[in-house]
Homo-oligomer: A and B are copies of this chain.
């Protein structure tokens, strides 16, 4: 069984988390995971980069402590470490998620335009 290293809460560093956030591809992953609210395989998120680059970004997120990754069969399931991050840096993840939703209006659901 393949096991993946994750930082413990004590090992999570603010700068690493912020650096993990500071990339469009990784922000897209965070935004997607937040919206999904469940475990999502790498291939479900359609990043505009090659697979090897994708692997790189997922690793950065995991090693920073932002996401959790587990293998299930051939797939690798990703989810946000929401509670852990909230405990260490209260409000940080939520404000970033809200910011991504605000700056990238991706969900074009109809009749959802309150006067901006």
A27: contacting residue among B15, B94, B95, B102, CB under 8 A: B15
Interface size for chain A: under 10, 10 to 19, 20 to 34, or 35 or more residues?
20 to 34
A82 within 8 A of B: no
Interface residue SS majority, chain A: helix
Q: Which residues on A are within 8 Å of B, measured CB to CB?
A: 13-15, 18-19, 21-24, 27, 88-92, 94-96, 98-100, 102-103
Chain B residue nearest in CB terms to A91: B95
Say whether, besides A18-B21, A22-B22, A99 and B92 are in contact (CB < 8 Å). Answer: yes
List, sorted by A's number, 14 A–B pairs whose CB atoms are closer than 8 Å: A14-B27, A14-B96, A14-B103, A15-B24, A15-B27, A18-B21, A18-B22, A18-B27, A22-B22, A89-B98, A90-B95, A90-B98, A91-B94, A94-B95
